Structure 1
Amino acid sequence: MVVATAIDVATAADRARFPADRARFPADRARFPADRARFPADRAQICADRARRGLAKWWFIIGTLLRGRMDARCGHRCDVR
């Protein structure tokens, strides 16, 4: 005996209700080849920006700890010298 849960029933109803959307997806993908070709370059730039920001953040934290302006335990700027 197979028991269908409410989620299974809702999923089946959604699948039956949206055949036009499912048929549209391949056409949408085919419409944007220039965007798909640009993604690797954009991703490389985003990764470089993240690495640069991450490095700057760590240099700021190390510098403030060395100057004694940030408590190593709480991570707040305490101005304790």
Structure 2
Amino acid sequence: MLFTSELLEEMNVLVKFTLSTDMAGLKVRSDADPILVAATERLYDKKLVTAKDGGYLTSIGRDAVEHAKEALRILRSEP
């Protein structure tokens, strides 16, 4: 399975969340880039966030952010 542009867009939204606290959410305004709005709505449909405009991470959403950030760290590291 390859990364699609939609999956990459969703990953880009996920890595915007902070993991240092459960009290920090994300708000994607309706006038934001339509790609960002659509990606956030897909994350809501997948039950990774609590609201169509972002909100807070669900438990599975938090897991997804942890893995996405770890993948970025690994891929960005110099050999």
Higher strand share: 2
Normalised by the size of structure 1, how large is the TM-score? 0.27
Normalised by the size of structure 2, how large is the TM-score? 0.27
Higher helix share: 1
**Larger-Rg structure:** 1
The higher-RCO structure (CA 8 Å, 6+ apart) is 2
